[in-house]
């Protein structure tokens, strides 16, 4: 069961990372109309990208320990 939870946490954090990184990149490139979360600020995007990256790394290392 712990393996499944690690894989689910890794997948969810990867999706969140991709969404907020896309929002950050599209916001900087001037294409704000295509950004998924156009009303969130730069600080919010950075916090979500960093936290989801940390969560992905921690779940990957935990998964690797269990194998």
- Domain extent listing, the chain: 2-66
What is the rounded distance in angstroms from the CA atom of residue 1 to the CA atom of residue 15? 21
Give, to the nearest 10 degrees, the angle between helix 42-66 and helix 2-28.
150
Once rounded to an integer, what is the mean pLDDT over residues 37-56?
85
User: Which residues have C-beta within 8 Å of that of residue 32, sequence separation ≥ 6?
Assistant: 26, 38
Once rounded to an integer, what is the mean pLDDT over residues 51-64?
94
| pLDDT mean across residues, the chain | 86
More confident residue, 38 or 11: 11
pTM: 0.80
Check if the beta carbon of residue 22 is closer than 8 Å to that of residue 35.
yes
């Amino acid at each position: 069961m712990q393996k499944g939870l690690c894989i689910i946490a890794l997948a969810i954090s990867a999706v969140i990372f991709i969404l907020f990184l896309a929002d950050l990149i599209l916001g900087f490139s001037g294409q704000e109309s295509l950004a998924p979360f156009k009303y969130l600020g730069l600080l919010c995007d950075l916090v979500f990208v960093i936290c989801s990256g940390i969560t992905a790394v921690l779940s990957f290392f935990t998964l690797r320990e269990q194998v």
